[in-house]
Structure 1
């Protein structure tokens, strides 16, 4: 097993996987594609590109599927976790590996993630960050390598053994805030989160999966539920009642003016908050609880 293996979680991702896997191959990084019950040709596309495919009979969610992929990469020293709509630029892997040697206290390393509009993603704070305070949320972009309060789960490099000792991504989260939670646990373990400026990755943002009916409602449900879950997990102020009230009102107003997009968006957020308030789980919603 090579010292670095990429894990890519796919769900109806056949349209973007070829470019992602080709870039990994150009960087000489073998890939494990965890197929989350895709209805398209994602698994076949991955196999044709030379990736090892792990097939989930049900969609396990982003974090849970990534943990399965990391476990499957036995013998690898490091894992590169990336979305299927991420394309590594030439030299990105060498830059990440060099940074890992330069900063031995780094628990997570991430490249400079460039968005479709040419800007690069850098989140100046995290809901779960008790370190590197930035209460005003100033977005002063780094011009070189930097410690960060948060690194996006769209592309991360981590030592496999360290990741598994932490328990991987929180298995209770189906979607959203699993990267915030991982960053918090890495920091709590005394390791740094390092933005590697010289490593560049292009991110399609939102193109990992083919659009489907009800997708907006479902994603907003999980976003609201997961925010409430991690807030409770770390003893933060509970966002449920304010979020529920605000989004229910917006959903009602959207229904009055026949704005279906608003009903889906705000209705999904209200439904997710209500489910969390009732003690329902994300896994139960997805039929994943035993």
Structure 2
């Protein structure tokens, strides 16, 4: 999926096509105006492994993935951010961890300097854990500290930057919940997979470079607004604490107050 995601998209496609197993690359364009989707369409016009789906509008991450998945023919689906670069054996190594009860396999995402994104493996962002994270009580918070595993381990949440799923599981879950426009759709998908009895695994032996945020830099307030909306939506859907009206109201107030407080800094950074 891409929406003004920048030049890394071309590299993303090149790396995917260099995979050591047959692939079908479906590029889903969410109304980009940078010309990248059209350029890729022309560049791979003679390659039947590559196709471009034009949404002509920004439908959001999950809805875009769902439309791409509807055209996929393989038994395994790889959801890949356009700023992620995989190695030739990445898909094979992730697929090696797929078993009869596997729902989702994630990988360790990191930046060019090798710094691991904490979102590679996290706990559900329940209210109590979010507060523990804010208070610096790491062991009770959302992030999982310590050395990464050398193989596949169960996880509550893995990063949506790269997800491998059996197609049958994706269809059973109904794909991504399209109520989430941006952010938290991967957390929701992992939660629903576990609720259906599927395993969510982190392939600790697979590293993927993630460029992070081409479209986020162009429209920081837009992205932040949807991120905060999705945080509240996830809370309402999955956190038992949301059953209490007063707690629900306080969380709503806290989330949107946080959003408003961040706007000046985001606008200042954008001008720079």
Q: TM-score, normalised by structure 2?
A: 0.80
Note the C-alpha offset of 1:224: 1.1
The answer to whether residue 64 in structure 2 is matched with residue 65 in structure 1 is yes
Say if 2:248 is the partner of 1:241: no
8 Å CA contact 2:97–2:203 kept in 1: the answer is yes
CA spacing shift, 1:244–1:111, aligned 2, 3 Å: closer
- Output the CA distance in 2 between the equivalents of 1:192 and 1:129: 23
User: Does the residue aligned with 1:153 lie in a helix, a strand or coil?
Assistant: coil
> Partners in 2 of 1:56 and 1:243 — Cα distance?
30
Question: How many residues are paired up?
Answer: 240
Say if 2:174 is the partner of 1:162: no
Q: Say which structure is richer in helix.
A: 2
- Aligned ranges for residues 169-208 of structure 1 at < 5 Å? 169-207=176-214
- Give the SS at the match of 2:183: coil
Stretches of 4+ moved more than 3 A in 1? 244-248, 262-265
- How far 1:128 sits from its partner (Å)? 5.4
* Cα contact 2:121–2:144 (8 A) shared by 1: no
Shift of 1:210: 7.6
Q: Is the 8 A contact 1:116 1:205 kept in 2?
A: no
Contact 2:121 2:157 in 1 (8 A): yes
Whether 2:149 is the aligned partner of 1:143: answer yes
Q: 1:246 to 1:217 in 2, by over 3 A?
A: closer
The match for 2:136 is none
Aligned partner of 1:98 in structure 2 is 96
Distance 1:170 1:180 in 2: 11
| Contact 2:220/2:267 (<8 A) preserved | no
Q: Contact 1:14 / 1:45 at 8 angstroms: preserved in 2? A: no
1:230 pairs with 217, 234, 241, which one? 234
Query: What secondary structure is seen at the aligned counterpart in 1 of 2:105?
Result: strand
Residues 165-209 of structure 1: per-residue CA shift (max 9 Å, x gap) = 2111111111111000000000001111111123221110113x3
**Partner of 1:33: helix, strand, or coil?**
strand
In structure 2, list runs of 5 or more residues that go unmatched.
Answer: 129-138, 243-247
Label 1:14 to 1:217 Cα distance change in 2 as closer, same or farther (>3 A).
Answer: closer
TM-score (ref. length: structure 1): 0.75
| Secondary structure in 1 matching 2:206 | strand
- Pairing of 1:41-56 with structure 2 (within 5 A): 41-47=35-41, 48-49=43-44, 50=47, 51-56=50-55
Once the two structures are superposed, what CA deviation does each residue of 1:12-55 show, in whole Å capped at 9, x if it has no partner?
13411111011111104220011111101122233214420111
Q: 2:133 corresponds to which residue?
A: none
User: In structure 2, the residue corresponding to 1:205 is in which secondary structure?
Assistant: coil
User: How far does residue 262 in structure 1 lie from its aligned partner after superposition?
Assistant: 5.0
